[in-house]
Amino acid sequence: MKKQVFVPFVLLLLFVLGASELLAQNSRAKFRKPATSAFNPEKDPPFLNAKQQWVDSVFNTLTPEERIAQLIMIPVYSNRDQAHIDSISNLIKTYKVGGVIFFQGGPVRQAKMTNRYQRESRVPLMVSIDGEWGLSMRLDSTTRFPYQMSMGGVEDEKLIYDMGAEIARQCRRMGININFAPTVDINNNANNPVIGFRSFGEDKYNVARKSIAYMKGMQDQHVLASAKHFPGHGDTNVDSHVGLPVINFSRIRLDSTELYPFRQLMANGLGSVMVAHMNIPVLDNTPNLASTLSKSIVSDLLKEELGFKGLVFTDALNMQGVAKFYAPGIVDVKALLAGNDVLLNTMDVKTTIEEVKKAIKSKEITQDEVDARCRKVLAAKQWMGLDEWKPIETAHLIEDLNNPHAVYLNRQLTESSLTLLRNKQNILPIRTLDTLKVAALAIGTTKETDFQRSLAKYIKVDTFFLSPNSSIAELQQMKEQLQSYNLVIAGVHKLQLKAGASNFGVTAEMNLFLKDLIRSKPTIVSVFGNVYSLAKFEGIDKANAVLAAYQENETAQDIAAQIIFGGLGAKGKLPVTVSNAFRIGDGLVTQGDLRLAYSAPEAVGLNTKDLAGIDSLVAQAIKEKATPGAQVLVAKNGKVIYYKSFGYHTYDNQRPVQNTDLYDLASVTKVSTSLAAFMKLKGEGRFDVDKTLGDYLPMMQGTNKESLRYRDILTHQARLQAWIPFWKETVKKNGKFKWFTFKADSSRRFPIKVADNLYIHRKYAKKIYKEIAASPLNEKGGYVYSDLSFILAPLVVKNITGQDFESYLKENIYKPIGATTLTFNPYKYYPASQIVPTEYDQEFRKQLLHGTVHDEGAAMLGGISGHAGLFGNANDLAKLMQLYLNDGTYAQQTYIGGNTVSEFSKCQFCEQGNYRALGFDRSSRPGAENSNAAKSAPVESFGHSGFTGTYTWIDPVNDIVYVFLSNRVNPTRENNKLSKLNIRTKALQVVYDAMEKAKKSDTVSVKQ
């Protein structure tokens, strides 16, 4: 009987063992390369198509302990000491862990550590990072992309795909194989302390679409994406880093909402999932059990019910959501038993391996199950390219991680995300500038902000600051200070990102002041912080305009200013409901391209690196002492794509040149003042270039200049002398000034400042005009460049308009277009530190000219003339040149009518050998290498140069405005190196070369 019982038992045992082996084989086969027909590249995780030969070859070399170790990833920091670095090395060599997750540090340090650890590891390590908004989430010196919340309102999801691809390229450059992103949690709880700004929003469809775009961008570049935090961390008020959130909603709610984006990503080839630390009674009612440790959630729901085949990562196992309940090693094995494939942030590797071995021995998990997960990890590594690992090249690493494409993409995303929530009476974009007195108020900080600096690119603003905890007295004082302003543009700064008891840092004082301000005067409010903070400001929806910027960085602040003034248009949509006033989907659209925008070369199809030649040329000029410093601006298609300052004010290298500094424009004054006025008057029918000087200036009647036609005058062929050295008439033989000319102190008779401690007689200008009237004409006709008619221009303009020259220009042109630094005698309006000095005049004024005009004749006219005397920065001069490029219009307002600029900028007497336009210079030798214009500048282009080292050029064919400002005459006008090196026109040629290169690149792309 015993034999009869035993035989069937043995047979049964053999059957069971055989079945087990068959199951194990099936399990192993499941993670080998499937048949071509079985792998679905659209739906399956990409690494399921890995080369199984490499997987098998590596797997077969591993001991059972090493297979367990492949499932372990340990935390690493590149900002810690050598002891930490060495301790990680010891863990890798001793236990053969499968991967690392890097936290805070720097790119080069991390790259060196990665190279070391990969060399020390027999099986290549899977290197990971939490980089939801790019590497900058963990690493310094890297590009910070927008938070997901801000991108929730971006309508062009191709931009999010591109961001995913760029983040992946940066990851690969850093030797990173998996980025734990995107966050697919649906943030439907405004008080969520851990997700919030990290979510794409509260609409499940929007979250899914944007998450898919982000995921595909990364995985198309062979960096594994990881959807987190399964099964959904968006509706919680507990941070799982510090505690265990309890989620009490129903399974129906979970299925319909939280799981929706996970399902969508899985259907589109998601590579991995990260499981959250949350207690979800409807799925597993075990007390204090995190979802990470729940078999019902990880194995049954995620793997079986949802059919997820990719890698399953735990969230960090040192977070208090799990760590407060289980010791290191114990928590890891529980996570493995629940069904997770990879243990993230294992804090005790030795104990973890021992505990897993115990679990295998006690049959809580089988070696085959561990082996299957090990194979899955190896397959992912092969797909990531770790089978052909190469060391990270640290040369140019920082440069590569901050490449121009990434910088421009970041700008595009930010531009697309900023959301205009209020715009009463279409106050934005601001259209009229000359009637505004603007206060730029920074709430929450006492330091000048990027927002204030960017606002100042468009209009003169006075800056004010309000600390978050200002006293009642300080609030009242600020209210009084703002009384005289008819527009306040307020930026709210230094807000906290996370929800909590602090209301994002919105204080009662901030609330009180802003509410009162909005009631009392026109106010535009831009909030630079978590969009949920808007709900904490009482009455903010009553502001004239409200702009949600989502985050505080230079790019967001710059773009907010551009939206306000119409350089860019608003187009973002609110991805969450903030309050009854601001609901999901809100977002007004405004017009862009109203004024100059400030962007990157990539915005007009050029490459930033192709404009680097400008930097090199200016550096050469400074090195060879052709000029101590310079400002260079290039605008194309209405966008400023290059604006930099170089060097110092003087060769003592004490004060660096800033973009806001003013230069003496010298003869560029002619086209910026006299010509501006003449063209405006021509457009109004009050000036005719075929009338004479005598027609417009009675004092010239009866002189040899009475019948000079303005068409000839403006083309410098009216036989006028080139110039007259007026100052020499004031000097006696002993070198001292004649008594009726200059005095060291101002007085009623000598009120006009010529330079420091030098004042001219109040009637001396009449002598200058008489001297011009009496001057002989050149015997021969033809082209001779002359200052004389431009010196008379202010008199002509006053005679026509009844208004003095400076007031006419400022009120009718400069202020309306926001070119407020264009001014005569800048010492009256600006600190000396903002004005770049010119020459040390050893002949006439015996001093360094600083804040007063360099040209002697203009100086003797009190600094106001039509041939020289204007000061300004490159930005404001560019606005005027853009007005010219637009044939007299700017911000949809016509300032010079009748196509006058087009007429004035045409060559008038080319057939006679005079290449000049009416007042404007044109290329004297088109196509020449060293000429007054860039070699590739078309014949239709025009501009002017200035004696002090200034230059501006307008190309209507290619829609280019170019400004080059320098003080090459410092310390002496005898220095002519800038012209000899031809720096000004060569720098513009760099732009043409970049355009040609881009054109060839586009042609190649089309052919391909």
Q: Which residues are catalytic?
A: 241, 315
Sheet holding 419-423, edge to edge: 419-423, 545-548, 523-527, 487-492, 438-443, 461-466
End-to-end C-alpha distance for the chain, whole angstroms: 82
- Among 875, 342, 353, which Cα is nearest to 597's? 875
- A 10 A CB-CB count for 739 gives 9
H/E element, 856: helix 856-860
Distance from C-alpha of 144 to C-alpha of 122, rounded to nearest angstrom: 34
Distance from C-alpha of 194 to C-alpha of 196, rounded to nearest angstrom: 6
* Tokens 């919030």, located at residue: 196
- Among 161, 171, 98, which Cα is nearest to 131's? 171
Taking phi over 0 as left and psi of -120 to 50 as alpha, with beta for the rest, 381 belongs to alpha
Which residues pair with residue 870 across a beta bridge?
A: 824
- Among 294, 313, 551, 523, which Cα is nearest to 424's? 523
- Backbone phi and psi for residue 162, each to the nearest 5 degrees, phi listed first: -60, -40
> Strand 597-598 relative to strand 840-841: parallel, antiparallel, unpaired?
unpaired
Structure tokens at 936: 């590739």
Where would I find the H helices in 292-436?
Answer: 295, 320-323, 330-338, 349-361, 367-383, 397-401, 404-417
How many Cα atoms are found within 13 Å in the side-chain-facing hemisphere of 545? 27
Structure tokens at 689: 């270039």
In SS3 terms, 873-909 reads as: CHHHHHHHHHHHHCCCEECCEECCCCCHHHHHCCCCE
The CA-CA-CA angle for residues 409, 415, 420, to 5°, reads 160
Distance from C-alpha of 238 to C-alpha of 233, rounded to nearest angstrom: 10
* Tokens 């700008």, located at residue: 411
Give the list of residues 6+ apart from residue 141 with CB closer than 8 angstroms, or none: 106, 107, 398, 401, 402
Side chain identity at 476, as an amino acid letter?
Q
Structure tokens at 631: 């400002």
CB contact at 8 A, 649 and 630: no
CB contact at 8 A, 402 and 143: yes
SS3 526: strand
Q: CA gyration radius for the chain?
A: 36
- Cis omega (within 30 of 0) on the bond before 956? no
> Strand 840-841 relative to strand 847-848: parallel, antiparallel, unpaired?
antiparallel
Which residues pair with residue 72 across a beta bridge?
A: 343
SS3 950: strand
Taking phi over 0 as left and psi of -120 to 50 as alpha, with beta for the rest, 905 belongs to alpha
Structure tokens at 506: 């919105």
CB contact at 8 A, 306 and 265: no
548-585: burial string, b at 16+ Cβ within 10 Å, e else:
bbbbbeebbbbbbbbbbbbbbbbbbbbbbbbeebbebe
- Among 27, 22, 26, 29, which Cα is nearest to 52's? 29
- Among 175, 232, 223, 178, which Cα is nearest to 200's? 232
No. of helices (H) and no. of strands (E), the chain = 35, 31
